[in-house]
Structure 1
Amino acid sequence: MPEITIGRFRGGFCVYWKEQGKRRRYQLKARSAKEAEAEALDVYQRQATAAAAATVTDLWHLYLGERSGRPVAMTMRYTGKPILKHFGALRADQIDTQTCRAYTKNRTKEGVKPGTIWTELGHLSTVLNWAKKQRRIEHVPHIERPSKPAPKDRYLTQPEIDCLLAAPAGPHIKLAIRLMFSTAARVSAILELTWDRVDFERNQIDLRKSATGPRKGRAVVPMNEGLRQALLSARQAALSDHVVEWAGQPIKSITRGFASAAQAAGLRDVSPHVLRHTSAVHMAEAGIPMGEISQFMGHSNTTVTERVYARFSPDHLRRAAQALDFTRDKNVS
């Protein structure tokens, strides 16, 4: 064990030591010299352990443990299978552009789409950045990913919406479809929605699971009259705390039920996420400002909203187009 030294840094305490000729320094949270001594030993031992054994597999499982119970943890259990098969035994400092390109090449040969590969490598980058913030690794390598494919442009027209709403389906599927259309929410937010977050007095639905839970793509949205009537009927027949339920039990997936409804409606290439996209497109076509659409969608800022949906607005670039109408009559004074 090298000699560790406690010093002052940025108005507080720090610990530093030399490792292979390079000085390592870490800010401490301690407020007294006594506390700093104990914390300094913990910091050194944590760094020494991490440097010796922090493989991608170790970091991946630690990250999932911290995110336990969140939708991203479930998703990353699936994306982790190919990632850990390729990167699992490596440390962060052993990952470079060539290992990333080899992963992309192998997954492409397996018939995996570029968008899926992009997501998988993005999750690897997320884990490594988290590990750096947790001081479990010193350096985050650049994770090269294939170009992100353009988003699918499939959305439903009004006649297609009418067909889907009228298609035969179980009451839980019909309610889920109406909720997705009227709130522009992801299917995961709809299936997690509980009655305590449906406010009939204020006509609002809080799609956020909790004050500390996931917020991405979730917002507090008003309910329109059609959705209100559907929810009032569902509330009277409710057997559990969940809005969308089956036989008094919450539902984990509506994949098969939704697919059957879409097929009965004569629709192709339609997934639950298409309904979220459809809602945003129809708001844009109705001339709703991008700022309002962004809030409704639960976007953190309007940049994503504008990039994807601004072109559907009837006023999008119209002034620019008019400025280029060189054939129009001009008043001559």
Structure 2
Amino acid sequence: MSDQPFTIQRLRGAWAIVWRDGDGNRHRQALAAPDRIGAEAEARQRWRLGNRSRRTVGGLVEAYLADRKAEGIVTADRQADAWKAMKSYWGDVSPNLIDKDMARGYAARRKAATATIRYELSMLSVALRWAKDEKLIDAAPEIWRPAPPDRKQRHLSQQEFETFFAQVKAPHARLYVLLGLYTMARPAALLDLTWDRVDWKRGTIDLNPPGRTRTAKKRAETIPLNDEAIEALKLAWTARQTDYVIERGGKRIANVKKLFQAASERSGIHVTAYMLRHTGAVWAAEAGAPMSELAQFMGHDDSRTTEKHYARYTPGFLRGVANRVRRAETTEVQMNLGVLSA
């Protein structure tokens, strides 16, 4: 750092950039980076860009995650895990420097599935937009993301589900799996579910907590439960220790990833939390559920979305088309057949 017009020094247990102005007056400013390598990178950017570079992507994302955690947002834990993989690349970068080539460079270096990279870059984009809204930065950069993969979500057969479910051991895990299948709710909706939104008299649950901001990931409002789901909830109710339906040891469950990994390994059948939603929908379609009703149950605004994914599983799918393809039964055709048979 001797060739730089500034030095990096310790300041009250943290790091600071120190320099002298043209009159020889000494100045110093605290840096956000937690270690010397990060402090040096942050100092270089700050010197080159001036006060615009005070806030690094790392500081902004960590502030965003802290805000999400304080609000009790369930997905904050998943986002924090994603940030661990992203931090070494993005942590010391100024948001002013982010461009398409930088995002593409991250994708090339990450060497992960396209869906994972899209999720991480999307989270980065959301975090920086939050920072702009909080007036921590003047503008949020556009974040390039790779095109979404063409995913074909697999569903479980009845036998596969039973084999998997037999290896789900913990009571809270068995409750989650049953509710995931029977409500077709997204994981976050079930992990958010509190007992005050269970209507025992009507046999329904409300998947939308009071004050929830409606997002692109829409949820059904109030949906009915079948008898097995109600009995599972009643059993859990007698042993409840928190306000949350999915809990363990008096604590709210924030993530069910390990639950599914363990049961998948024991059963030999790979299952994810989201796969239960898809499986429930396929089973309902196979049983002849109308697409309009299934759409409402799943929280889709438009039944065309539901039809796109699930209509092919219904017993009568395209049967009407097949029945309309008929041979012409005319006298001429019959006479020709008669000649051929003679």
TM-score (norm 2): 0.67
> 1:73/1:251 Cα in 2 relative to 1: closer, same or farther (>3 Å)?
closer
CA contact (8 A) 1:185 1:217 kept: no
Deviation at 1:55, TM superposition (A): 3.4
Which residue of the other structure, out of 316, 326, 329, is the alignment partner of 2:327?
A: 329
Which residue of the other structure, out of 223, 226, 229, is the alignment partner of 2:225?
A: 223
CA contact (8 A) 2:184 2:277 kept: yes
Structure 2 partner of 1:298:
299
Structure 1 partner of 2:118:
118
Structure 2 partner of 1:31:
none
Query: In structure 2, how many angstroms separate the alpha carbons of the residues matched to 1:313 and 1:217?
Result: 24
CA contact (8 A) 1:203 1:222 kept: yes
Structure 2 partner of 1:27:
none
TM-score (norm 1): 0.69
CA contact (8 A) 1:286 1:313 kept: yes
Q: What residue identity is the alignment partner of 2:80? A: R
Query: In structure 2, how many angstroms separate the alpha carbons of the residues matched to 1:127 and 1:253?
Result: 21
> 1:193/1:140 Cα in 2 relative to 1: closer, same or farther (>3 Å)?
closer
Q: What residue identity is the alignment partner of 1:153? A: Q
Structure 2 partner of 1:72:
75
Deviation at 1:301, TM superposition (A): 4.9
CA contact (8 A) 1:50 1:136 kept: no
Deviation at 1:156, TM superposition (A): 0.8
Query: In structure 1, how many angstroms separate the alpha carbons of the residues matched to 2:91 and 2:208?
Result: 34
Structure 1 partner of 2:60:
59
RMSD between superposed Cα atoms in Å = 3.3
> Which blocks of at least 5 consecutive residues in structure 1 are unaligned?
1-48
Structure 1 residues 164-173 or 149-158, which shifts more? 164-173
Deviation at 1:300, TM superposition (A): 5.3
CA contact (8 A) 2:75 2:188 kept: no
Q: What residue identity is the alignment partner of 1:119? A: Y
Structure 1 residues 253-262 or 270-279, which shifts more? 253-262
Q: How many corresponding residue pairs? A: 278
Structure 1 partner of 2:171:
171
Query: In structure 1, how many angstroms separate the alpha carbons of the residues matched to 2:156 and 2:178?
Result: 14
Which structure is larger by alpha-carbon Rg, 1 or 2? 2
Deviation at 1:168, TM superposition (A): 6.4
> Which blocks of at least 5 consecutive residues in structure 2 are unaligned?
1-49, 332-342
CA contact (8 A) 1:242 1:250 kept: yes
> 1:259/1:208 Cα in 2 relative to 1: closer, same or farther (>3 Å)?
same
Query: In structure 2, how many angstroms separate the alpha carbons of the residues matched to 1:322 and 1:270?
Result: 38
Structure 1 partner of 2:7:
none
> 1:202/1:91 Cα in 2 relative to 1: closer, same or farther (>3 Å)?
same
> 1:64/1:246 Cα in 2 relative to 1: closer, same or farther (>3 Å)?
closer
Deviation at 1:63, TM superposition (A): 2.9
Q: Deviations over 1:50-85 (max 9, x none)?
A: 845343234323433443321232222222234343
Deviation at 1:147, TM superposition (A): 2.4
Q: What residue identity is the alignment partner of 1:329? A: R
CA contact (8 A) 1:184 1:297 kept: yes
| Residue 241 of structure 2 is aligned to residue 243 of structure 1 | no
CA contact (8 A) 2:74 2:255 kept: no
CA contact (8 A) 1:183 1:221 kept: yes
Query: In structure 2, how many angstroms separate the alpha carbons of the residues matched to 1:105 and 1:258?
Result: 29
Query: In structure 2, how many angstroms separate the alpha carbons of the residues matched to 1:313 and 1:307?
Result: 12
Query: In structure 2, how many angstroms separate the alpha carbons of the residues matched to 1:103 and 1:184?
Result: 35
Q: Deviations over 1:279-303 (max 9, x none)?
A: 1222232333444333323345556
Q: What residue identity is the alignment partner of 1:80? A: W
Deviation at 1:314, TM superposition (A): 4.0
Which residue of the other structure, out of 65, 77, 84, is the alignment partner of 1:81?
A: 84
| Residue 280 of structure 2 is aligned to residue 282 of structure 1 | no
Deviation at 1:98, TM superposition (A): 1.2
CA contact (8 A) 2:182 2:229 kept: yes
Q: Deviations over 1:96-146 (max 9, x none)?
A: 2211111111012xxx22211111111122233444555655555442222
Provide the secondary structure at the position in 1 that maps to 2:75: helix
Query: In structure 1, how many angstroms separate the alpha carbons of the residues matched to 2:257 and 2:156?
Result: 18
Query: In structure 1, how many angstroms separate the alpha carbons of the residues matched to 2:211 and 2:320?
Result: 42
Structure 1 partner of 2:204:
204
Provide the secondary structure at the position in 2 that maps to 1:80: helix
Q: What residue identity is the alignment partner of 2:183? A: T
CA contact (8 A) 1:169 1:257 kept: no
Deviation at 1:258, TM superposition (A): 4.2
Deviation at 1:306, TM superposition (A): 4.2
Q: What residue identity is the alignment partner of 1:223? A: L
Q: What residue identity is the alignment partner of 1:222? A: P
CA contact (8 A) 2:114 2:148 kept: yes
Query: In structure 1, how many angstroms separate the alpha carbons of the residues matched to 2:250 and 2:146?
Result: 44
CA contact (8 A) 1:169 1:260 kept: no
